[in-house]
Amino acid sequence: MTTPPDHLTTEHIREITSYVDIDAPPPDELPVALFVFGSNQLKPAEIAVERYHRGAAPLIILTGGVNRHNGVVEARAFRGLLLERGVPESAIRYEDASANTWQNVEFALPYLREALETGLRVAAVGKWYHRRALHCLTTLVPDIGPFHAISWESAYEGQAVTRTNWSRVPIGRRRVVREWEECPRRVGDGSFRDARRGGDGAWRG
């Protein structure tokens, strides 16, 4: 994993895409605690609303403090959207002080503990390439057990970053390659616990 970003072959693009892709959704019939990583884009909230209303997400954990680009407090904004769309307060937990992915998990640990103690599996909701998010979960919650990930495609300045175009979109290229380089490096130096897919399609630490 040392190929310079400016010299990616088709094979490398395929390898990188497969490595960073977090998508491992829970079975439709399995209720889970959704763990929503902070964002200023609306798709994660839409996923949470849809899954709650079909009975698949009895607990929703929202994360995210002040977004550095627009000044919005991410978790509070998502909470407001969920309440407006019929998700009751009793189903929502949130932390609104985190400034990065690690803190998203760290500051929401009491809610993750609540989910696990009530027997719910966790399903992370994050950008499709945000592999770091899964390592933060396995590192800070080593007893998380099998967990899932529901992915979505982000957009920057009107340009979507997808599994098929990321290598041609400068901001997508930077973000995806960073995940591909940083995650194995931090697993190697011990600052991240590994995260791997099992035979049942779920992630494990």
Instruction: Indicate whether 4 pLDDT > 60.
Output: no
What is the DSSP-derived secondary structure letter of residue 147? B
Q: pLDDT tens across 169-194, in order?
A: 999 999 999 999 999 999 999 999 99
Q: Which amino acid is at 205?
A: G
Average pLDDT, the chain: 95
**Alpha carbon 100 to its chain's center:** 12
Identify the pLDDT of residue 5: 62
Take residue 144 and report the two structure tokens written for it: 């998380």
Q: pLDDT tens across 153-162, in order?
A: 999 988 999 9
153 — phi, psi (to 5°)? Answer: -100, 125
Confidence band, pLDDT 50/70/90 cuts, at residue 1: low
Best CA proximity match to 74, nearest among 100, 109, 110, 52: 100
Q: How far apart are CA 27 and CA 121, in angstroms?
A: 11
What is the DSSP-derived secondary structure letter of residue 55? T
CB of 82 closer than 8 Å to CB of 57: no
Task: Give the other-Cβ count within 10 Å of 76's Cβ.
Answer: 15
Instruction: Indicate whether 89 pLDDT > 80.
Output: yes
What residues contact 86, with CB distance under 8 A and at least 6 apart?
49, 53
Report CA dihedral (43, 46, 52, 56) to the nearest 10 degrees: -40
Confidence band, pLDDT 50/70/90 cuts, at residue 33: very high
What's the burial of 134, exposed, middle or buried (CB within 10 Å: 0-12/13-18/19+)?
A: buried
